[in-house]
Amino acid sequence: MSTEDGDRSRRPKEVITDQNNKKIHEMILNGSKLKLNEIADILKIPTERVHHIIHEYSDMRKLRAKWMTRELNFDQKQRRVDNSEQCLKMIKRNTRVVASICDNG
């Protein structure tokens, strides 16, 4: 009986790559109801690594069966600013309607 390690083929393939990070992020944005094991099956990487990439590199979390970013990205923030500005313009144009809504509330 020997206590020495046998020959090993090579180091295991690294799965946390920029390419996998980008693919996972795109998959979640395109289908936010995907499950970890579905993503792992598609990319042929362990489910545990998919979980790690999503939480550590994409900064996302699961909310009501959908993957959500923890913070708004620049495009989402800009969309909210644009929508708010449009609402303010509508309010300024229709002050009577807004006043009647506020008075009835």
- Tell me the per-residue pLDDT of 28-46, one tens digit each, with 9 for 90 and over: 888 767 888 999 999 999 9
pLDDT, tens digit (0-9, with 9 covering 90-100), for 83-93: 999 988 888 88
Indicate if the pLDDT at residue 1 is higher than 80. Answer: no
Measured between alpha carbons, how far is 1 from 13 in angstroms, rounded to an integer? 30
pTM exceeds 0.85 for this model: no
**How much of the chain exceeds pLDDT 90, in percent?**
13
Q: Which of 77, 104, 79, 102 is nearest to 91 (CA)?
A: 102
